């Protein structure tokens, strides 16, 4: 009896042919591939969005004389060491010293402005606002301002105290402080915004 087979006749002349796939399967693979790419792209974008904007710097630290720091309640002071180096907002509130990065945590605009009458930092790009302590108060930024780790050092250049965990130091608790040593390559992530 004659046998019938579903196999396609081999017209390749002995060459190996790619596996047959239907149009439906082909479209499925295209769709699955584009979904994987889209999800990977979204995950990478979300990770970049949440990461701090690290600043490139050639310096291990900046030394700022203690007597030049803003006093309690003074307007924040923008410390801009030189072109291409991180800029730092020095803020003194209730004798606690903050060293905020001049980088908006929304899309990394480096153009924060202090509004003395409203007592807020404002980002002109998309309207995020931050309180003097760096907490986000409105606008699209996902977290408060990132801040730099710093130390208080005495005249012998010995470290007296350090903000290892990011908490600001109360300047009235330390004697014989000569300088503040700010580490531009040690950025501490700002607090997530409460929703
Ligand atoms: S970059 Fe500052 S609000 Fe968008």
| Ligand 1 pocket residue status of 142, Cβ below 6 Å | no
Q: Is the pLDDT of residue 159 over 80?
A: yes
Q: Which one, of 147, 73, 170, 77, lies nearest residue 160 by Cα?
A: 170
User: What is the three-class DSSP state of 188?
Assistant: strand
Helix count and strand count (H, E) for the chain:
1, 12
102, 103, 141, best to mutate for ligand 1 pocket (most atoms within 8 Å of CB): 141
Q: Is the pLDDT of residue 8 over 90?
A: no
Give Cβ neighbours of residue 66 (< 8 Å, ≥ 6 apart): 152, 177, 178, 179, 180
107, 113, 124, best to mutate for ligand 1 pocket (most atoms within 8 Å of CB): 107
Q: Give the CATH number of domain 62-188.
A: 2.102.10.10
Q: What's the 145 CA to ligand 1 centre distance in angstroms?
A: 11
Q: Is the pLDDT of residue 3 over 60?
A: no
102, 106, 134, 190, best to mutate for ligand 1 pocket (most atoms within 8 Å of CB): 106
Higher pLDDT, 144 or 41: 144
What pLDDT does residue 176 have? 93
pTM, rounded to two decimals: 0.71
Give Cβ neighbours of residue 195 (< 8 Å, ≥ 6 apart): none
- Atom 4 of ligand 1 has which residue's CA nearest to it? 126
pLDDT tens profile 76-115: 999 988 888 899 999 999 999 999 999 999 999 999 999 9
Give the distance, in angstroms, between the CA of residue 60 and the centroid of all CA atoms in the same chain.
Answer: 19
Higher pLDDT, 162 or 47: 162
pLDDT tens profile 21-69: 777 887 888 888 888 888 877 777 666 555 555 556 677 889 999 999 9
Q: Which one, of 12, 6, 110, lies nearest residue 54 by Cα?
A: 110
Atom of ligand 1 nearest to the CA of 104: 2
**What is the residue extent of each domain of the chain?**
62-188
What pLDDT does residue 58 have? 72
Q: What's the 171 CA to ligand 1 centre distance in angstroms?
A: 31
Atom of ligand 1 nearest to the CA of 140: 3
């Amino acid at each position: 009896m004659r046998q019938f087979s579903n196999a396609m006749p081999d017209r390749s002349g002995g060459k190996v042919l790619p596996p047959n796939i239907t149009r439906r399967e082909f479209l499925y693979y295209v769709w699955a591939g584009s979904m994987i790419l889209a999800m990977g792209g979204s995950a990478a974008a979300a990770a970049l969005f949440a990461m701090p904007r690290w600043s490139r710097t050639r310096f291990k630290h900046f030394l700022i004389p203690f007597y030049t720091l803003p006093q309690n309640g003074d307007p924040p002071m923008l410390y801009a060491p030189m072109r291409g180096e991180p800029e730092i907002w020095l803020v003194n509130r209730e004798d606690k010293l903050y060293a905020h990065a001049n980088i908006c945590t929304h899309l990394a605009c480096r153009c924060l402005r202090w509004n003395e009458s409203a007592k807020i930092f404002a980002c002109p790009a998309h309207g995020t606002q931050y309180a003097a302590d760096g907490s986000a108060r409105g606008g699209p930024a996902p977290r408060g301002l990132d801040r730099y780790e710093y130390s208080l050092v005495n005249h012998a250049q010995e470290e007296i105290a350090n903000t290892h965990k990011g908490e600001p130091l109360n300047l009235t608790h330390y004697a014989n402080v000569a300088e503040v040593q700010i580490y531009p390559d040690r950025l501490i992530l700002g607090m997530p915004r409460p929703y």
